Amino acid sequence: MVVNIPEKYCILLKNKCLEFLWNNKPPLVAYDVIINKVIDGGLNFPDIMQKMYAFRLKYLSRLFDENYCAIWKQTCLYFFSKFENMNLRIELLFCDLRNRKIDVLPEFYQSMILSWQNICENVDIEVNSENVFDIPLFLNPNITNCNKMLYLKTFIQAGVCKIKDIAYECKPGFLKESYIQEIVSEKFPEVSENKILHAVRNVLETLPDEYKVLVEANVHQKLSFDTSPRLETNASRHFDVNVRAVWGALASGNGLAHLNEVLATLDSPTMSQNTFTTIENEISQWWKDLLQEDFSQAIAEEKKK
């Protein structure tokens, strides 16, 4: 990754090329025309800035490619996450940063973002149930109030930066206004609750209908309850959690009655006497086999002396 050509040298190169093209005379055709392809009425004249943008965008495409692995990708996403303390990663590209101070980012990443900003208006990013929750609430040109992008520093510092931060995790829909207000008030107790509540309503009202429909119909975090795996050994096919429970009871000097008391307190199904005894016998056999192996190794070591 190389650094940018300083802007003054880009302009100098451009002027030198134009002087050569027009033989040091005033241009006969507008610059925006000559850089077009010949088929479009241009001269296919090379534009230094566009070449540089194209080079940066090539790296940006690799940032999106999950199959492309490189250390610089993680470094890039780390710096993205530190911008404005919004904890955004690739979602930073949803933001319009053309009027923001981005010199906190390394120069290469600055140029990558600026290159993207120059073409993003012509790129249609599909918003779906998979990515809607990661869309940033602030500096987002799609979320505006009176044609101005939202930017609430109190919300950002309170960790409310993405749509998922104002939506339920395990069921569809947005959090209640009072819940969001409490999140921000906890960080800024000195700010009037009514003022924060007004800001919350402003954020919710400015969300595009497309986003609202997706959030109301989908769940951010889908819970799955998996059954404990079975132990696949020659001597046992009991559930792993049952074996661990019996082992723990034996190791602590307790039996089935005490174990079932603990399980009942946890509102968990209790264990039958038959299951407990069977697992206890299997564990005893495992311990016996291990001890026998240790004794055999010790005897072998003694014989070598």
Q: What is the pLDDT of residues 241-298, one digit of tens each?
A: 888 888 888 888 888 888 888 888 887 888 888 888 888 888 888 888 888 888 888 8
Residues 277, 251: one domain? Answer: yes
Torsion (CA) 116, 120, 124, 129 in degrees, nearest 10: 60
Whole-number pLDDT of residue 226 = 59
pLDDT band at 161 (very low <50, low <70, confident <90, very high): very high
Joined together, the tokens standing for residue 36 give 């077009």
Domain boundary among 56, 89, 122: 122
Residues 182, 80: one domain? Answer: no
29 within some domain: yes
Between CA 29 and CA 265 the distance in angstroms is: 85
Q: What is the mean pLDDT of residues 96-107?
A: 82
Domain boundary among 122, 157, 178: 122
Is residue 212 within 8 Å of 129, Cβ to Cβ?
no
Between CA 34 and CA 19 the distance in angstroms is: 14
305 within some domain: no
Residues 168, 202: one domain? Answer: yes
Neighbours of 226 (CB within 10 A): 5
Is residue 94 within 8 Å of 86, Cβ to Cβ?
no
Whole-number pLDDT of residue 272 = 87
% of the chain beyond a pLDDT of 70: 93
Q: How many domains does the chain have?
A: 3
Residues 12, 111: one domain? Answer: yes
Residues whose CB is less than 8 angstroms from the CB of residue 109 and which lie 6 or more positions away in sequence, other chains included: 76, 79, 80
Q: What is the mean pLDDT of residues 8-20?
A: 87
Between CA 154 and CA 151 the distance in angstroms is: 9
Residues 101, 176: one domain? Answer: no
Residues 27, 110: one domain? Answer: yes
Residues 75, 170: one domain? Answer: no
1 within some domain: no
The string of pLDDT tens digits covering residues 203-229 is 999 999 999 999 999 887 665 555 667
154 within some domain: yes
Residues 245, 138: one domain? Answer: no
Whole-number pLDDT of residue 232 = 63
Domain that holds residue 158: 132-217
Whole-number pLDDT of residue 223 = 55
Residues 17, 89: one domain? Answer: yes
152 within some domain: yes
CA end-to-end distance (rounded Å), the chain: 63
301 within some domain: no
The string of pLDDT tens digits covering residues 39-72 is 888 888 888 888 888 888 888 888 888 888 888 8
Between CA 106 and CA 122 the distance in angstroms is: 26
Residues 75, 97: one domain? Answer: yes
Torsion (CA) 61, 66, 68, 72 in degrees, nearest 10: 80
298 within some domain: no
Strands 148-149 and 144-145: antiparallel
37 within some domain: yes
SS3 239: strand
Residues 146, 208: one domain? Answer: yes
Residues 251, 273: one domain? Answer: yes
Q: Which of 21, 24, 25 is nearest to 47 (CA)?
A: 21
SS3 208: coil
Whole-number pLDDT of residue 236 = 62
Domain boundary among 217, 238, 260: 217
Does the structure show a pLDDT above 80 at 3? no
Helices 7-21 + 48-64 axis angle, to 10: 130
